[in-house]
Each structure stands twice: as C-alpha cells, then as structure tokens.
Structure 1
C-alpha cells in the first residue's frame, strides 16, 4: 500500500463513522452528510491507500480485511484526539460519568466513591444507576459497571467482584416457622421473586429438585438491593450476595441460614471503550477501584 503524504483527515472521520455504524446512510446521518458525500469521502481514502476498505453489497456494506485492520486504529486515534483537545481546554479532568447497576451503586460504590474524590479533587463524579446495557457510542458515559462474563466487543473489562448468592432473611421471619434448619424449610416462607434464575440454581445445588417455584406467588422488585430491603422488613426470603449486606447481618436484621453459595458465571466488571483506556480520568478511576476491591483483580483484565 502506498499512502499520500496529504492524507484526507476529514475522510477518515467519515470512514470511522461508517465502519462503526456499519452503514453509509447512518454515517451520513451522524455527520450531517448525504450518502453520496459519504461514498465520495470513502473513495478518497481507498484511492489514497490503494485498497478497497468496504465490500459493497445490496443494502449493506462490510469491511474488507484491510478495513478491519484500519477501523479500530482510526477509532482509537480519534478518541485520543478528542481527549487531547478536551485536555487542552481544561475539561478532560472535569467530570467522570459512571453508569452502574443499581445494586452495586447502592451497596458498594455510593459508600466508597468519596475516597476517590478525596484522592482526585479535580474530577467531579456523575453517577447514573440502572441495569441497562449502555452503548458507549451513543451515550455520554466514561465507564460502566456491568454484570456479565466480561466479553463485550470493543470494551476493556476488569473483574471487580465475583458474584455468589445464597438465601437471606430476617431472623424474626425464620421464627414464624420454628426456624430454618434445612433448605426445604425455606419453602414454608414467602419467596421474593421466585422466578429469579438464582433460586432454581441454588435449590438444585442444595439437593431440592422440586421446589415448584413457578407456581408460587411473588414480587419482582427489579434490583437485588430492593429485594434485600423487603427481606429486612420481613416480607420474605431474598436470594442475595452476602458481601453487600454485612451491615444488616451485624445488626441482626438479616441472616444467612446456609453456607452454600452458588454462581451463574456472571460477575461484576468495570468496562470502558478500549480506545479510551489511557484517558487520565478513566485510568485514575480504574486504578482506584481495582486497588480498593482487590489488588489481585488487576490480573482479571480482558
């Protein structure tokens, strides 16, 4: 490939958008250009490089091998330019936008984030808590904390916490049935969200093969943190991560009747676009949270 010294930077921006969105039309919509103008800019790059970057098919496009090699490098280059310009304006360290699952945000992050802000007083933290899987290409988010297996294309991921769950309830509720001595005793009580897959996994591991969970009435509260509050109030048995509720256990509001814990393979992960891995505020938060939870989790990076 022979490349001209006068490489068309604007055309590269068009290529990056088309490769990321998989469509000349969508790239044009994002950049405020017609599809014809997008096609022209792509041809400029292809002529400059001397190789086709896209396979044109009816109603769709696909990156060639050369295009697949070039696209992530161009995306990373534009992210670096974006961060460099923001830094020059004094805004790179202005705000860190975090998206987190509701339970992790309420049970861990909200308690600890103050120490990060003390260590980095120039970074203002903005936290949004929900369980939606955000699209970094469409939403103004710097980092996210997700539950999953750590394999999200285009994202760097670091395991924060292994997820293991077990039934928990209030001691007072347990006394209403004379105590909980065997796993089957739990079925004498109201199960909060019996259709949660965690329940069937746990009962199976505990040797209870026929808990008839689907036939039981229950409530779906939308987040583990809410189910824990219901359990504290004596509204039923919740299946929870004990690490998040050690304070409730210490105060006698919840207890864990069995040592058995299970996992469905989904853990908590810190994720962010791989192209932005060297952004100062992202690097600062990554190093802080990994060190805070467990220094050894630095090894669990994808």
Structure 2
C-alpha cells in the first residue's frame, strides 16, 4: 500500500465536484474549465484505483468510495483553511466564539469593553446558553461552564472566583421596605426560585428546622430570577459574583443579619477539548479572563 498522497490541487477539485454534484459548478468555483476538472478527476481515480463518481442524469454523484473519501477530504480542507486563517497576518479583526451560561455571561458582558480596548483586533462573539457544546459540530472556540470540572474528553481550568457564595437578597423596595428580619418572617415572603441553589439548602445551612415554601415564581435561568428580584417581586438566593454590581449599587440588599454565606463545590471553568491545541487568540482571551476573575470585586454578606 502506497503512502503517497494525491496532490492538494486534485483533492480540492474532487471536494468541489462532490459538493456541487457535478463538474461545471466546481469549475466555475475554482476558475477552471470543465475539461480540466474532468481530467483531474480521471487522474485521481486512476491514482486511487477506484471510481469516485457516477453519472446520474445531468449530475455526477459520488460512488460509495467517493463518499468515504469526500467526508475525509472535506473535513481536512476545512481544518487547513481554519489553520491558515489563524496564522495569516492581515488587518481584519479575528473573531473568537465563546459559549457561556447566562449567569456568567451577565458578569462578563460589562467587562468586554476592557478586552476590546486591550485587543482591538480580536472580536468576541458571546453566546449565552446552558446547553453543552459539541466542539466538532458547533462553531465554538471556548466554553465557560458551571459544574464540578469533570466533562469527558475535556480539559477544564477553574476560574479563580473562590469567594463565590449565595445569600438571600431582595430589592430595598420589596414590601415597601419592610424587609424580613427573621427566618420566620422570611418564610412568609415570596421566594424566587432558580436551579443554581435551592432554598431548602439555604434553610439547612441556617440550621433552622423549617421547610421553605415551594410556592413563588420559578425561573430556569439565573438572570431571569435576578430581574424578578430587582423589580421587587420577592427574595432570591443571589450569586455573590454575578450580583456584585447590583449589591454594590444598592439595587439589591441582603436580608436578615448574620445570614449564612452558602457555598458550593461547583465552580466556573474554562472548557475545551483535550485533543485540541488552543489558538493564540483563545489563549489571549483566557489570560485576560483569568485576570478579570482575580480582580473581581466580591460582595460580602452582612455581619
């Protein structure tokens, strides 16, 4: 079996012909004549010793061997194009596609102005979602995720947001300013629920042998729960990192005195495949993000 590879030119012509199901459109795309494309395909078939196309009406469709080769060549050419684009020096801004849970994206967005100022030739496309990323299918360079740091096949680097905790907060205008002062009064309030921390855990940490009510609005995303709290709809368990600006400005205030600062074993991580080497633009963003996490102002619970 020969290890000699066909020429890149022949493989590009084959890929275009397979994608367009014919020679004419492939010739137009590559600025070649129809006969030049046909000649290259015949030469490639002779070199490989198998037919790659079959005529069906006015179309040239891939044979079984052609389909197998097309899948490999199409992916390989895409990787080559991506690699060339990353190292090519020009004045066009590069883009980095980042996926993050909405809770972290809310914290990240106000800080992106600093990144743009420091790196004007690198644009960040940020997608806020809790859905798991398929790096082989989705156009994503980096994912930021909340969890225990274990995802199969992934490298996970923890963000140093070590002072992350949850505490009960509400708008100072909630109940016309008559905020709860005891756990008993808190149980009578409207409790806002979200999936990142349960009220049952909070009451357990407060060492109160009471069960919280399950009534009250439920939201599947942290930012939605925070908007409900900001508009005075009830009391929520706030993430000290993601709600630091609202706590510092007084838009949200802690309820009770000496309430527990409830911590989790989960944390935020930078996630990417172990099999993939980070590009220079991804490393630039990661270095900046780690510094932002170190410098983040952490709100402390009232004593």
Quickly name the TM-score band, shorter chain normalised.
Answer: 0.5 to 0.7
Matches within 5 A, 1:23-102: 34=64, 83-89=82-88, 94-102=94-102
CA contact (8 A) 2:199 2:212 kept: no
Give 5+ residue unaligned stretches, structure 2.
8-61, 296-303
Residue by residue over 1:206-232, the C-alpha shift from the partner in whole angstroms, topping out at 9 and shown as x without a partner, is 11333243xx32222222122112112
**Aligned mates of 1:84, 1:259 — CA distance in 2:** 53
Provide TM-score, normalisation by structure 2. 0.65
Helix, strand or coil for the counterpart of 2:191? coil
Normalised TM-score (structure 1): 0.65
Deviations 1:39-67 (A, max 9, x none): 9x99xxxxxxxxxxxxxxxxxxxxxxxxx
1:227 and 2:225 correspond: yes
CA 1:90–1:185: 2 relative to 1, 3 Å: same
Task: Give the distance between the partners of 2:268 and 2:283, measured in 1 at CA.
Answer: 18
Instruction: Write the mapping of 1:120-269 to structure 2, written as runs, cut at 5 A.
Output: 120-160=119-159, 161-162=161-162, 163-173=164-174, 178-193=178-193, 197-213=197-213, 216-257=214-255, 258-269=258-269
Distance 1:158 1:7, change over 3 A: farther
Distance 1:33 1:212 in 2: 65
Distance 2:145 2:129 in 1: 10
Gaps in structure 1 of 5+ consecutive residues: 11-31, 43-74, 296-302
Larger radius of gyration: 2
Q: Determine if contact 2:206/2:259 at 8 Å carries over to the other structure.
A: no
C-alpha displacement at 1:102, in angstroms? 1.0
CA distance in 2, matches of 1:278, 1:196: 30
Contact (CA 8 Å) 2:197, 2:237: kept in 1 or not? no
Question: Which residue number in structure 2 is paired with residue 112 of structure 1?
Answer: 111
Q: Is the 8 A contact 2:194 2:225 kept in 1?
A: no
Conservation of the 8 A alpha-carbon contact between 1:191 and 1:236? yes
By percentage of residues, which structure has more helix?
A: 1
RMSD in angstroms over aligned alpha carbons?
A: 3.5
Q: CA–CA distance in 2 between the matches of 1:243 and 1:237?
A: 17
Structure 1 runs of 4+ with >6 Å offset: 7-10, 77-80
CA distance in 1, matches of 2:84, 2:194: 51
Range 81-90 or range 219-228, more displaced: 81-90
The CA distance in 1 between the partners of 2:265 and 2:6, in whole Å, is 44
Distance change >3 Å, CA 242–CA 278, structure 1 → 2: closer
Distance 1:194 1:274 in 2: 32
Q: Counterpart in 2 of 1:272?
A: 272
**Contact 1:156 1:273 (8 Å CA) reproduced:** yes
Superposed CA offset, 1:169-201 (max 9, x none): 12232666x542223321110011277652111
Cα contact 1:184–1:208 (8 A) shared by 2: no
